[in-house]
Structure 1
Amino acid sequence: MGSDQGTPTTAEEAPRDAGASRERFPHAGELELPAELDGWEEMYPEYFQFELTDDRTDYERGRFWFWDKKDTTEPVMPWDMTISAQAWQIAMAQNTSRVFAIPPSMSVDIRVVAGYVYFTGINVDDEELLQERAQIFAERSEYYYENYDALYNGTWLPAVKEIGNEIDSLEVPEKLPEYVPEDVITEGKGQSQSTLDVIRNYNRLTELALEGWQRHFEFLYLAYLAYMQFTETSRELFPDISDDAIGKMVSAVEADVFRPDQELNGLAELAVDLGDDVTDVLTSDASPETKMERLRETDAGREFIDRFDEIKDPWFYMTYGDGFHSYKGSWIEDLEAPFDHLESKVGRLQDGEELGRDFEALQDERDEIVEEYRRYLDAEEREEFDHAYETCMTVYEYAENHQFWIENWLHTIVFRKMREFGRLLVNHGLLEDAEDVFLFNRFEVAELLEEACETWALGRGAFVSERWQDRAAERRRTFEAAKEWDPSPALGEPPEEVTDPLMQMLWGITTEKVNDWLDVESDTGDESHLEGFGASSGRVEGPARVIEDSADIDTLEEGEVLVAPLTNPAWAPVFPRAEGAVTDDGGITSHAAIVCREYGLPAVTGTGHATSFIETGDQIRLDGETGEVEILEKTE
């Protein structure tokens, strides 16, 4: 595949629905990629590439694929595919197909085009198989729901922490020694353990990363399915109930994903209590490193630093992106974001504002809404409602907690350890930059490390090839070109109707959304009016602030409406500045939807292309109940 495979087909060129024929998106082989992307295929494992064989092409062209913008808004580095596709594919697919046997959802298949990840859902249509799976699912899910607290706190969280701590403890030398230690001889250790350790520890790292993703999906679909069951129960009992009302009934959740913001609030409050010696430093224009040095000069500053050091592990293990891109970095490695947030929070406190959520008020509102709806039910209906609600509230926190512990905390540790292997390869002359290790897939990195061990074993002066450095430079150019490319939102023939509830809830993909994509591809859409999910109630007008990269979130100013492809946990500290939020992607259980409900902000998610039509400074109106967004006035 590549730019030379087939004539590009656009939605406009394909026939519009006239019964059997429908307008469609291009197939993967019909995509016209820029010349700069020629050869991208060698960067990624074959299994994840489209149209390798004729029978595979028939399978792929018979399915509808959508770009997973919820998790991978940018192309994925070759090594990062280890967690964003390879580990994900196994863990996600087996969870639905082999572990819990979720009746209608067999699994999700994954492909990649120039680093962009596409999904397709594989559903179950056979009635006999549906019944078989329904029985298995009922038995297994019931056990998890009834024992969730013990399984989560007693098994899941300790296991995840153990995985991260073991990865952190893996020893990676900066450089293999000139000569092995004397105890290799005196203790009969059988030659050098150094080379064995390098290979063994890299293999262990990848094994643990895969194991972490087994844990990632352990409760995830059960949490979403509990929400879906509560939603279905609510709609059966109250046909006119809104998505927002359902969302509010499961708000005020004490999830770990909110802790980084809560800890920053506590630090800002401590700073104000400690006085000018701390607040003057935090609100200055200095770099984080300079601020830390200045804080250590005073007793108050040292007290602040002590508290800062206590909470940064684990709560500053927040990635600057969505957790799937090594090059985005993390707060713990680059303190720019937490110090920017502290500066803003200190300023708000000094202006007399309060920080954070009014959690008690949110709980009161939630409980009041729940009780209001319960009043309309008879005893039997109330029992059905209560069971669905209690199950949902028991496990729903996991939908957010897994993002912090796996996609932020664990991934930060994984990427940090990979950089240690990168530095080893630099010190042995195979790479020029430690970051280049991510330009090779996990099998190639194993080969790189083995070659480093082999050249070391040959002794000082052994020949070291520059081919890896040359390949890294070429791949860097290809990857940067991929970041500039705008992929198709979908591939292939869209379904007559999108019925998969997980696709709707998680990715915000509905029949209307797909048709909207087709309209945009054909240049027939209304660029002043957008529709998505009414994810958090309220109606607001204001100037838009379009933010497409998490590195720019601090540009959001008070009173602006945040417009983004999607949001992730690292964005939480800026939400109090916003009047509301609009996202391209995500459904009613997306991060933006959940956080906006927690902060009482109007939100519309899953608009498809708000960031394409809206510009910073545009005056916009959004309705968090109807899901409508209007551009009232374009900026000059």
Structure 2
Amino acid sequence: MTQAKFPSPYELPAPAGAEDWRSMYPYYMTFRDDLRAEEEGKFWFCDSQHWPQPFRPFESLTVEFAVKALGQYNTRHYMVPPANGVEARFHNGYCYLSPVAAPPEDIPKRVELFMQRAGYYFGNWDRLIENWRKKVLACIGEMEAVRFDPLPEMVPMEWIESGAGIDNTVPLLDAYDKAISLCYRTWNYHFEFLNLGYAAYLDFFMFCKQNFPSISDLLIAKMVQGVNVDLFRPDDELKKLAHLAVELDLANAFANPADVAATLARVAARPGGERWLAAWKGAQDPWFNFTSGNGFYADDKYWCEHLDIPLGYVADYIVRIQKGENIERPVAALQAERERVTQEVRELLDGEALATFEGKLGLARTVFPYVEDHNFYIEHWSMGVFWRKMRELSVLLQQAGFWTDANDMFYLGRNEVRDVLADHCMSWGVGAKPIGRKHLDPLIAARKKTMAALATQPPKPALNTPPEVITEPFTIMLWGITSESIGAWLGRGSGENKLKGMAASPGLVEGLARVIRSADQLSEVQPGEILVAPVTAPSWAPVFGKIAATVTDIGGMMSHASIVCREYGLPAVTGTGNASSVIKTGQRLRVDGNTGTVEVLAEA
């Protein structure tokens, strides 16, 4: 029987109007015709977990930097025994990944090296984590200090008097190069501990599977749940602000949170208003460095720049508090369940096996918080500053006459932007007009049309022929790519009205579907609905108290969507492949987070 397979990238056409999409991205990030035989021999899956929308050329640097840094820590730092990194290619504007296995003959030596290198980190975790925080905060500080100043009519007189010997183009070019370098450095820091966090959990996971072959993945995950991590602080701060507003009898001042200035003015005019405003201001640094997206796109909306977003969440929490609802994350219940499950497992072990279990569990719990914490410091805070600086540069070049719209720069690759800066500096230096507008107007216009066309067609979940069995551990744990999920994507084991995915967070519920493809649609979500999305972001947590369950296209047990749903006590099925494409808003669903199934019970 012929093995079922996904389309080849070489046979999958671009949407009408996007035929020239390859020209937007670097040559080494697309499927090349002269490598067809080699590229078709690999299995590729779409990473819609991190890049759920097509990305403009400049935004593609997030793929390059992230994928390279992920790979280097497996392949060059810690020498992870079974796995190198992942290769990345763009197709029709989306990112596809293919795991790279370590050469089998290298594995014995890599085991020894991994124990030495990773063992040092595990043995010095607290000190090295504290050092990591200092490095990341220093990097953020350097990024904040980057300035893009307009080129003046003439070099300042002070520079003449000091004999500086340079003009204003030197700091401008330095600032751009430094910003890109800091972003690259940030992504190096991102993976310094992340792969180790996954490795420690995977080691504990494999021990449980070996000793209890029938134990569920969900049961294992329960033994590390109920954690307090910085990623949840932004939402916690909003809840504290809501409670304070109710306590100070300010609730009716939040009737129209979309008008931030008017709302804050009403609060200021009330008794106790100054106290609330001080708390509001105090929460912003650093916790409002949080995006409603995921940090990989230049137009992500950050709370600190769009105060209507957090203020709207506060207003919603106020209403729920007044209704008598408990808006807190169920930490105590999660921790009680964690200890119950852990004790049951302990009672089935003794001697050396019990000691090994305790050691592996202790390590998993120690390192697990980083698996979520890094998301706040890197994707949210660091990338928020980076995108803000890049938007400032785009506006500067707009005002210099290089394009029409304030964000047109993002339709160029990072090296193309360097060329634009060179044009700007050259023309300023010689006192002539820049060439840029003649070249850039048609290019940007064409790319805008290409981007609009790419957005009309959702990505295929995978490409080429899948392997008979998926064994690469990080692919399974992070993305939820398993032999079973691939079979479900290909239609095996799924009925017309049934989808199969990862049992990511326990619970069985029924409700109406609400399909969301971007954070801008979150205001459409109604209480009791089931959120269906390509992937969720941690910053969507304030809506988790309203909904009945979550269903995503991609994500494994250690994906952010899975972890956040478990920590909020929300049933979830992840890694369905195409739920957001086949489910329609208004359909009645049954979501079983215990078994990983989603069933359409009735049409809209």
Short-chain TM bin: over 0.9
Give SS of 1:349's match.
helix
Name the residue aligned to 2:229.
255
Letter in 2 for 1:29: Y
Q: 1:459 aligns with which of 431, 454, 462?
A: 431
Alignment: residue pair count: 604
Letter in 2 for 1:583: T
Name the residue aligned to 2:159.
184
- Correspondence 1:31 to 2:12: yes
Q: 2:421 aligns with which of 443, 449, 456?
A: 449
Name the residue aligned to 1:241.
215
Name the residue aligned to 1:7.
none
Q: Give the 3 Å change call, closer, same or farther, for CA 38–609 of structure 1 in structure 2.
A: closer
> Residue deviations 1:329-349, cap 9 Å, x none?
222211232122111100011
Name the residue aligned to 1:111.
89
> Residue deviations 1:211-250, cap 9 Å, x none?
0000011111111111111111112222322222211111
Report the Cα offset of residue 125 of structure 1. 4.4
Give SS of 1:327's match.
coil
CA contact (8 A) 1:554 1:574 kept: no
Report the Cα offset of residue 298 of structure 1. 4.1
Give SS of 1:109's match.
strand
Give SS of 2:386's match.
helix
**d(CA) in 2 for partners of 1:35, 1:610:** 24
Name the residue aligned to 2:139.
163
Report the Cα offset of residue 38 of structure 1. 2.2
Q: 2:505 aligns with which of 536, 545, 548?
A: 536
Residues 156-555 of structure 1: matches in 2 within 5 Å?
Answer: 156-173=132-149, 175-192=150-167, 194-276=168-250, 279-284=251-256, 286-298=258-270, 300-459=272-431, 465-519=437-491, 526-555=495-524
Name the residue aligned to 1:6.
none
**d(CA) in 2 for partners of 1:178, 1:301:** 48
TM-score normalised to structure 2 length: 0.96
Q: Give the 3 Å change call, closer, same or farther, for CA 474–381 of structure 1 in structure 2.
A: same
Give SS of 2:96's match.
strand
**d(CA) in 2 for partners of 1:66, 1:199:** 38
**d(CA) in 2 for partners of 1:468, 1:602:** 48
CA RMSD of aligned residues (A): 1.8
Name the residue aligned to 1:75.
54
**d(CA) in 2 for partners of 1:268, 1:408:** 23
Report the Cα offset of residue 428 of structure 1. 0.9
Q: 2:29 aligns with which of 48, 55, 76?
A: 48
Letter in 2 for 1:35: A
**d(CA) in 2 for partners of 1:380, 1:58:** 50
Name the residue aligned to 1:147.
124
Q: Give the 3 Å change call, closer, same or farther, for CA 469–384 of structure 1 in structure 2.
A: same
Report the Cα offset of residue 463 of structure 1. 6.5
**d(CA) in 1 for partners of 2:297, 2:286:** 19
CA contact (8 A) 1:316 1:332 kept: yes
TM-score normalised to structure 1 length: 0.92
Give SS of 2:551's match.
strand
Letter in 1 for 2:318: V
**d(CA) in 2 for partners of 1:440, 1:313:** 32
Give SS of 1:27's match.
coil
CA contact (8 A) 2:512 2:529 kept: yes
Q: Give the 3 Å change call, closer, same or farther, for CA 466–408 of structure 1 in structure 2.
A: same
Give SS of 1:79's match.
helix
Give SS of 2:453's match.
helix
CA contact (8 A) 2:257 2:311 kept: no
Report the Cα offset of residue 486 of structure 1. 2.3
**d(CA) in 2 for partners of 1:200, 1:393:** 43
Give SS of 2:325's match.
coil
CA contact (8 A) 1:320 1:330 kept: yes
Name the residue aligned to 1:5.
none
**d(CA) in 1 for partners of 2:373, 2:543:** 19
Report the Cα offset of residue 377 of structure 1. 1.1
Give SS of 1:305's match.
helix
- Of stretches 94-103 and 301-310 in structure 1, the one that deviates more from structure 2 is 301-310
Name the residue aligned to 2:80.
102
CA contact (8 A) 2:488 2:500 kept: no
> Residue deviations 1:182-227, cap 9 Å, x none?
11111111141x1000101100111110000000111111111111
**d(CA) in 1 for partners of 2:565, 2:244:** 26
Give SS of 1:75's match.
coil
Report the Cα offset of residue 114 of structure 1. 3.0
**d(CA) in 2 for partners of 1:36, 1:216:** 37
- Correspondence 1:121 to 2:93: no
Give SS of 2:403's match.
coil
CA contact (8 A) 1:283 1:346 kept: no
Report the Cα offset of residue 614 of structure 1. 2.1
> Residue deviations 1:559-596, cap 9 Å, x none?
22222211111111111112222222101112222122
Give SS of 1:526's match.
coil
Give SS of 1:360's match.
helix
**d(CA) in 2 for partners of 1:179, 1:397:** 53
Q: 1:566 aligns with which of 535, 540, 546?
A: 535
**d(CA) in 1 for partners of 2:211, 2:434:** 76
Q: Give the 3 Å change call, closer, same or farther, for CA 461–61 of structure 1 in structure 2.
A: closer
- Correspondence 1:631 to 2:600: yes
CA contact (8 A) 2:403 2:437 kept: no
**d(CA) in 1 for partners of 2:166, 2:97:** 48
CA contact (8 A) 2:489 2:576 kept: no
